[in-house]
Structure 1
């Protein structure tokens, strides 16, 4: 039996379709422009390409160094995800499953940090990184990103861990297991859905990061994709090779789009995971 749709449902769906169009149309436009020649682009930005210029992608990959930038980004994102996810999981376990004095105070301070703009920590972080000799280093950037905890991820994973029955831990402790053994052998396997969700969010967050790589990296051979895109855009002041820049934009979008397409159910579920499970 088909569900009846009233007038409000139709209006709501229409608004969602229009909203989706505002997102899809610019992406489609950039894709078509990346397959043109520069004369075609400047002649008519709305016309379709006469012949598909896939060579723009090869040019963007080689001349604008997007290939090297993607490798740097994969190293930065991969390292930050592995270390950051471990620390987030460990912190969530300590703050939700272990009873100790001052735990609520720590949670309160963490929640208060939501009201503090992240830009406030920029100067002290840079001073510490400089004194430790970790500036202009992808490994230093990985360390900085991994140690910088995000409240949103703690809330998601902490809410999920709270749903695990306490009896599971208690029986393990009775058998002589330590906190580390309980964490590694029980909590992590049972929290896998939440961990995967946080991992996806972290990937998108790190992949799209611009400010930290822009500030800490000065060597062009170490630029991540976000910084490389910025540098390529600056070159347009002199070369006006916009079609190659558009090709670079498409290349830069492919990894994050692929992650979203393959894991969109996890991403949508993760937006309410902590509140539902908690």
Structure 2
């Protein structure tokens, strides 16, 4: 039997529709502005382009260093997310599945970090990175972000792992498996949904990270996409080439769109399953 829609339901539909339009309209506007000439842009920002100027994308890729920045970002985000997710899985397993002295105290300290603004660690981190000669280096930035654990991700994945039956590990130990074999052969496969969710969130956070690369990288050839776009926007103070800047902005969205299309089911299932089991 078909459910009857109430006035409240219709109100929610209208609000969601307005919200969707508010998100999609700026993206559509930036897209067709990126296909204009600068003359068309300054004449009328709402008028559609007469000819599709795809050369703007080529200019953005080469002229403003978007191409090199994209390669740098793929290296930085890919390696950091891979190492960081693996370390989060190990830490979550250790704190939720193993019994040792000081475990509760360690959890309490980690929970305390949730209430401390991350900006407080900025100066000590920079001094440490400088003394280790890791500034102005993508590898140094990867080390910093990979080993900077997040209490939020530990809580997410830890709650997921904690829900797994203890008998699984006990049966593995009875069969002669070591602690590492239990982790890699039992816990990791069963926690794959939660791990994928954490990996996606980490990837999105790293891709959108601006402050870290902006502070630690001084060589333009090592800029990530966020810093490269910021530098390009500064150039607009002296050079009115906005259509090329819009083209560069659209290029930065391509990896995120691809990730959403490919992994949307994984992140929805992982987040839901983690919430139910946690």
TM range (shorter): over 0.9
Q: Pairwise mapping of residues 110-259 of structure 1 onto structure 2 (< 5 A)?
A: 110-259=110-259
> After superposition, what is the alpha-carbon deviation per residue over 1:114-148, rounded to whole angstroms, capped at 9, x for unaligned?
11111111000000000000000000000000000
**Deviation of the 1:196 alpha carbon:** 0.9
After superposition, the C-alpha distances for 1:208-246 in whole angstroms (9 at most, x for unaligned) are 110000000000000000000000000000111000000
Which range is displaced more, 174-183 or 62-71?
174-183
- What is the aligned partner in structure 2 of residue 84 from structure 1? 84
* Cα separation, 1, equivalents of 2:4 and 2:104: 48
1:91/1:154 contact within 8 Å kept:
yes
State the secondary structure of the residue aligned to 1:209.
coil
Residue 275 of structure 1: CA displacement?
Answer: 3.3
The ranges of structure 1 where at least 4 consecutive aligned residues each deviate by more than 3 angstroms after the TM superposition are 268-275
Deviation, structure 1 residue 270 = 4.2
Structure 2 partner of 1:26: 26
Moved more, 108-117 or 212-221: 108-117
What SS does structure 1 have at the residue aligned with 2:149? coil
Measure the CA separation in 2 of the matches of 1:234 and 1:184: 48
Match status 1:64 vs 2:64 = yes
CA RMSD, Structure 1 to Structure 2 (Å):
1.1
Gaps in structure 2 of 5+ consecutive residues: none
CA contact (8 A) 2:193 2:269 kept: no
Q: Contact 2:111 / 2:151 at 8 angstroms: preserved in 1?
A: yes
- Normalised TM-score (structure 1): 0.97
* TM-score, scaled to structure 2: 0.97
Measured in 1, the distance between the counterparts of 2:266 and 2:192 equals 12
Give the distance between the partners of 1:37 and 1:25, measured in 2 at CA.
Answer: 20
Corresponding position: 1:94 with 2:94: yes
When residues 74 and 152 of structure 1 are mapped into structure 2, their CA distance, relative to the original with a 3 A threshold, is same
1:164 match: secondary structure: coil
1:274 positional shift: 3.6
